Structure 1
């Protein structure tokens, strides 16, 4: 089954805490994974950043929200337990716990009101009652998930716009762009060395050559195609023939277009070694290595340094 959202985890977490004096997040995760019959693949699924497992993140935020409502508390580092308020709440046999349900608790309302809001925008208890329940329940993603989803959307739009910009460049500029990118990725000894071309009009499928490392121990031959659609097998074979003509062992074929699965399988079965980079991968590399893009804003996400507060 899909990983439950963090609101769906809150009631099971609170019920589990009722039956234990103290709990750790690890114990709760194991209980919830079994309760919801999660597979290993689902448990190991990570957020887009790759820095945290999605399931762990949702369990942690379910616990945080219950603590902010006063239903759980942490008596010491790494452990938590249920409060009397939490026991009283469970005695009413709630069918579920959501953000809208937690808004009945004053501590939770104070937690949700950001200190940076002006007096005119801070929600009072009366104004919260007017907030539609559906709008409070729509938050199925944790704050990290929402932040990373927004980041992925911005990156996707940037990549799409960047690819269109690259496609509008002249063929010559595109070849320069490819060399610039490879330099930023650590290939080549210098800009002048990296830019040396092979033959130009009579290149027979080779646009340039670049050293694989700073010492120039081996060369990588480049084909750069500003292409609108799928690059055909004949173009790949022409590049292979050109590499054989240079007695080259390695080549990179970069295009603004795409490669079919057949072409990708073809280059895996031949010698020399050829790497295919399509338009999507190209702009991903450009963004990663800050080519053709500038920094617009930086947002820092911080957490408490628990080691600093360790008095032992």
Structure 2
């Protein structure tokens, strides 16, 4: 059973509040809805990358949309209750509450489609129907940001990988050096550059220091390949490590690893970095990419409003 979307939680939340004769904390309401959902603990414990609990966050957004429509009111911070307007809604015979349903209420339209300014001209030019299509009903605003970010990141990774594959093997070796140094390995870039791409020793393309003092070494194999890396390639690398009495090895490729290769590497303590992981690390450490635009998401600073602090 999948988690209900925030719009799917609006009707259950309204029905819960209609049963109560006093305000309830939104966190407590989320707990009640969780108990009624028959969802597993694993499902209910899912979190966003930001660390927020997905189910509780969706309940919170359901509350926000209903408040904007005037169906729920907040007598005090963190509490909510059904409003007089909300009590006029026939909840028993209602199948769902959606953004389209809420669009009949002026408060929600102002929130969703933009308020009018002093000269009565619309801030936004989209029609209500167009705006509803712009904002999917299945995701909260934070989830939409996350989904869009992941989509942009996925496209960027594909572009990065294609550029790398179009370059020479020597370029790839240098790129590996840049990445390892950016990650904190190899001491100086000069030391790392001298160490990698020099050995040609039975499957080892280079050696790099694990720390700036050079107390331990990491043996590298860097392959700009199209084909899947199989178990024999890992076995060859494993044998080369054994010849060097090496304890640590990293196999980096622009392609992918077979299931057998992954199992073989696990048994030997070899770290595998495929094309997907490679481009993820490049983005994480700012190698070959730059920030085009950034934005901030703000929240209330509760300490600032704590009267005891004044």
- TM-score between the two structures when normalised by the length of structure 2: 0.90
The 3-state SS of whatever aligns with 1:209 is: strand
Shift of 1:260: 0.8
**Equivalent residue pairs, number:** 305
1:32-71 to 2 correspondences below 5 Å = 32-47=33-48, 49-71=49-71
Partner Cα distance (1:220, 1:157) in 2: 31
Which residue matches 2:285?
289
Kindly provide the CA deviation profile for residues 179-229 of structure 1, in whole angstroms up to 9, marking residues without a partner as x. Answer: 110111111211111122367474221111111112211010111011101
The 3-state SS of whatever aligns with 2:218 is: strand
Query: Is 1:306 the equivalent of 2:294?
Result: no
1:197-208 to 2 correspondences below 5 Å = 197=195, 200=198, 202-208=200-206
Which residue matches 1:167?
165
Which residue matches 2:121?
119
Which residue matches 1:227?
225
Kindly provide the CA deviation profile for residues 161-182 of structure 1, in whole angstroms up to 9, marking residues without a partner as x. Answer: 1111111111111111111101
Given that 1:98 and 1:137 are in contact with CA atoms closer than 8 Å, whether structure 2 keeps it comes out as no
Partner Cα distance (2:85, 2:27) in 1: 24
Which residue matches 2:76?
76
Given that 2:6 and 2:139 are in contact with CA atoms closer than 8 Å, whether structure 1 keeps it comes out as yes
Given that 2:115 and 2:123 are in contact with CA atoms closer than 8 Å, whether structure 1 keeps it comes out as no
Partner Cα distance (1:208, 1:154) in 2: 33
1:1-312 to 2 correspondences below 5 Å = 1-20=1-20, 21-47=22-48, 49-90=49-90, 93-114=93-114, 119=121, 122=124, 128=128, 131=129, 135=133, 138-197=136-195, 200=198, 202-270=200-268, 273-312=269-308
The 3-state SS of whatever aligns with 1:151 is: helix
Kindly provide the CA deviation profile for residues 33-91 of structure 1, in whole angstroms up to 9, marking residues without a partner as x. Answer: 222211111111223x2422221221110000111111212222221112212112347
Shift of 1:306: 3.0
Shift of 1:242: 1.8
Q: Which runs of 5+ in 2 are unaligned?
A: none
Moved over 6 A (4+): none
Partner Cα distance (1:85, 1:136) in 2: 27
Q: Cα–Cα, structure 1 residues 204 and 197, in superposed 2: closer, same or farther, change >3 Å?
A: farther
Kindly provide the CA deviation profile for residues 99-137 of structure 1, in whole angstroms up to 9, marking residues without a partner as x. Answer: 11112222111212336999355369xx64xx3898489
- TM-score between the two structures when normalised by the length of structure 1: 0.89
**Which one is further off, 60-69 or 242-251?**
242-251
Shift of 1:304: 2.4
